[in-house]
Structure 1
Amino acid sequence: MRDINFLTENNAKPIWHPMAHPAEMRATPPRIIMKGNGVEVTDIDGRTVLDAVGGLWNVNLGYSCDPIKQAIAAQLDALPYYSGFRGTSTGPSIELAFELCDWFAPEGMVRAFFTSGGSDSVETALRLSRQYWKIRGQGDRTKFLALKKGYHGTHFGGASVNGNANFRRNYEPLMPGVFHTPAPWTYRNPFEETDPVKLAKLCARAIEDEIAFQGGDTIAAFIMEPVLGAGGVIVPHESFMPMVRAICDRHEILLIADEVVTGFGRTGAWSGSRLSGVKPDFMTIAKAITSGYFPLGATLIGAKVAEVFEADKTSFGAIGHGYTYSGHPVGCAAGLAALAETKRLALHDNAAARGDELGRALEALKAKHALVGDVRYIGLMAALELVSDRAAKKPADKKTMNAVADAAYAAGVMLRVSGNTVILSPPLVISSADVVKIAEALDAGLTAAA
């Protein structure tokens, strides 16, 4: 590797960063992370901080999981790559597909289609949804419904079903035939309703209204995150997803559960769908499937959909879709090791316990700091929405948000800022002491910004 001076001088010059303005990155170069150990990362200046971002919702097992590293090394020696395009399989891909279908059997999943990440998984689910209806002889079912504030990746399909203008406007026009309904967000919603039960019913009614307007027989699928992650950790009432499932059933609309963030324990359950007691028709997964150690994802397919594809006798059932790295043997080997460790450590239980501790700490910070307008959390998904005026719910400005993040970093914790929201998604292996450290750093950040 080049020396430190080279890295510092060329930071943000030859590289464009995701979700950032290139000019801003050049003017204020980002931190350079050089090492990771346990739940901590170390920057180029030697400062070690607790990673309360967990990479990007995905490093559930922390940065020192030797079984994953060993599985990757062993698979590189045995077979570093082979394509699944020519009707070939590899040992790890078969094993991991079996493991995933077993893991998510309670959600009704029976087949797996491998991808390179979450955006790929969403794109696959959208395409297969439309194809399902063509096989069924209902080719008019091409539309999609989604929630405002939902996030579903960066491909044109995923960006089209995204419910946040920040991820849409610069790339419009996007895919036609996508329609959004209000999210069950108690802090900000068009109904001005703060009761989560009543709000869930109002949002469900809005879905029914949109279906009636569009025509149920024109809609292929409804896509939703069981908990809205990048949109600000919006946690629907437990009644909401079952209501959506029932609505989809009444109108014969497929339900896609985007579990890229919520899969594998982050909510305190093995999936957001399981937490809600819902069986979707598709599940999209990625991120924690390898704990971030290798780019891998999958679209999981429910029995109803699989049966239609596999019983088809026409060309409509042939899958004209795939990725060069679908079922990558090294990625699948990493996935097998990651899931074994995830299960052995019962990470969902730790996420639930530490999440309760973190939630109580965030509520205390809200009581202490006028900057905190709202706190939202479930398991180890949490957010603080910062405001300059609580009564008016006026969002805090960028300067304030950066001040909070910088002061927290100085206090030893890496945070993620998105708009006027601080998002927390630490590794699921964190301890109670780590929760205290996160809270103390947040307290320092909020104090400094105020």
Structure 2
Amino acid sequence: MRDSNFLVENNARHVWHPMAHPGEMRAQPPKIVHEAEGVEVIDVHGHRLLDAVGGLWNVNLGYSCEPVKKAMRDQLDRLPYYSAFRGSTTSPLIELSFELVEWFKPDGMARAFLTSGGSDSVETCLRLARQYHKLTGQPERTKYIALKKGYHGTHFGAASVNGNQNFRRQYEPLLPGCFHIPAPWTYRNPFGTDDAALVAERCAAMLEDEIAFQGADTIAAFIMEPVLGAGGVIVPHESFMGRVREICSRHGILLIADEVITGFGRTGAWTGSRLWDVKPDLMSTAKAVTNGYFPLGAVMIGEKLVDAFEADKTGKASIGHGYTYSGHPVGAAAALAALAETRRLDVASNATARGAELMAGLEKLKARHSLVGDARGKGLMAALELVSDRAQKTPASKDVLQRVFETSYQRGVMVRTSGNIVILSPPLIITSSDVARIIGALDAALGSV
């Protein structure tokens, strides 16, 4: 490993970072995370920080999960790689597919398709949705409907169903046939109300209207996050996803639940779909399935699709799609260990308890600092929306968000900022004292502004 001087001198000089302007990164290089332990990361200067970002929503079990590391080491010694394409498979893939089906069986899932990550999983869901309709004699069902502010990854199909302009504008034209309705966002919505149930009902009515306009027989699927993550931690009213399920079923439209963030306990339920008591037709997962230690994802497939694909005699159900690293044996071994630890530690229960403490702290910050327009969250995914004028809900400036980030960093807590929102997604093993540390750092940061 090169020394710290080399790392500092070459920081952001030879790489373009995801989700960042290359020029800005050169002018203001990012923090260099050098080590990690427990729920803390340590930068190249030895500064320790509680990681309130959880890597990127994915390090649910923290950075010292020895069972996952051991499983990866053992698998590297035994079989570091082999393909899962037709004609071969591996022992860890067989075992993992069994465990995933067991994990998601309460959600109505019956098969798994392995990918390399969340964007891959979403792309796979979109493809399988179209293929299903072709198999069942409805080839004109090719369109997708999604939520504004929804985030589904960065592949061309995934970006096309994204509902955030900054992931779309510079890459258009995207996949044709993708349409969006307003998100059930109580704090900001086009309906002029702060009644969450009414917002949910009106968004559902917008879905009905869009289906009628497009023609139900042209729509393949509706895709949504049970709790919207990167779009600002938007928590729908409890009625919304169930209402969407009913509408989709009535019109023969598949429901894709994007569970990349919510699939393994982050909301306090084991899945976001289970949180709202909904059974989707397809689920995209990734992130915490390996605790972030290996890039791996999975698409979970509901029984309706399984029946159609596995009964096909024409050959049209052959899946002409996959990735070199689909079901990678080291990733599968990591996932098996991560699932076992996730279950053993019952992190969903901890997410519920610590999430309640976190939200109570964030509400106190809202009462104390006029800069906070809204505090929201579910389990251990939470956000503060910062504004310069509460009455007008005017978004706080980029400079304000940068100052909040820097002060929190100096106070020993890593947070994430996106637009005018501070996003929190700490590991699901945090303690009450960790929650207090996060709130204390944010209190100082907001006070500094």
State whether TM-score is above 0.5. yes
Asked if 1:367 is matched to 2:367, the reply is yes
What amino acid is the match of 2:176?
P
What amino acid is the match of 1:265?
G
Distance 2:89 2:253 in 1: 32
What amino acid is the match of 2:288?
A
Residue aligning to 1:214? 214
Residue aligning to 2:391? 391
Residue aligning to 1:299? 299
Q: Deviations over 1:211-248 (max 9, x none)?
A: 00000000000000000000000000111000000000
Q: How is 1:340-355 mapped onto 2 (pairs within 5 angstroms)? A: 340-355=340-355
Residue aligning to 1:165? 165
What amino acid is the match of 2:168?
R
Number of residues of Structure 1 aligned to a counterpart in Structure 2: 449
Gaps of at least 5 residues in structure 1 are none
Asked if 1:433 is matched to 2:399, the reply is no
1:245 is paired with a residue of what secondary structure? helix
Asked if 1:410 is matched to 2:396, the reply is no
Q: Post-superposition shift, 1:157? A: 0.4
Q: Post-superposition shift, 1:315? A: 2.6
Q: How is 1:167-206 mapped onto 2 (pairs within 5 angstroms)? A: 167-206=167-206
Residue aligning to 2:121? 121
Distance 2:418 2:87 in 1: 43
Q: Post-superposition shift, 1:118? A: 0.2
Q: Post-superposition shift, 1:316? A: 1.5
Distance 2:87 2:258 in 1: 28
Q: Post-superposition shift, 1:276? A: 0.6
Q: Post-superposition shift, 1:3? A: 1.6
Residue aligning to 1:154? 154
Residue aligning to 2:59? 59
Quick check: 188-197 or 353-362, which moved more? 188-197
Asked if 1:338 is matched to 2:338, the reply is yes
2:316 is paired with a residue of what secondary structure? helix
Q: Post-superposition shift, 1:86? A: 3.3
What amino acid is the match of 1:387?
V
What amino acid is the match of 1:211?
I
1:49 is paired with a residue of what secondary structure? strand
List structure 1 runs of 4+ shifted beyond 6 angstroms.
none
1:235 is paired with a residue of what secondary structure? coil
Distance 1:86 1:152 in 2: 28
Cα RMSD for the two superposed structures:
0.5
Residue aligning to 2:24? 24
Residue aligning to 1:265? 265
Asked if 1:96 is matched to 2:96, the reply is yes
Q: Post-superposition shift, 1:267? A: 0.2
What amino acid is the match of 1:80?
P
What amino acid is the match of 2:299?
T
Distance 1:18 1:116 in 2: 17
Distance 1:225 1:203 in 2: 15
Residue aligning to 1:35? 35
1:113 is paired with a residue of what secondary structure? strand
2:235 is paired with a residue of what secondary structure? coil
Q: Post-superposition shift, 1:6? A: 1.3
Q: Deviations over 1:38-72 (max 9, x none)?
A: 00000001100000000000000000000000000
Distance 2:86 2:177 in 1: 34
1:34 is paired with a residue of what secondary structure? strand
Residue aligning to 2:133? 133
Q: Post-superposition shift, 1:14? A: 0.8
Residue aligning to 2:310? 310
Distance 1:285 1:36 in 2: 25
Q: How is 1:236-251 mapped onto 2 (pairs within 5 angstroms)? A: 236-251=236-251
Q: Post-superposition shift, 1:292? A: 0.1
Distance 2:356 2:171 in 1: 39
Q: Post-superposition shift, 1:87? A: 2.1
Distance 1:411 1:334 in 2: 33
Q: Identity of paired residues, percent?
A: 69
1:317 is paired with a residue of what secondary structure? coil
Q: Post-superposition shift, 1:186? A: 0.5
Gaps of at least 5 residues in structure 2 are none
What amino acid is the match of 1:166?
N
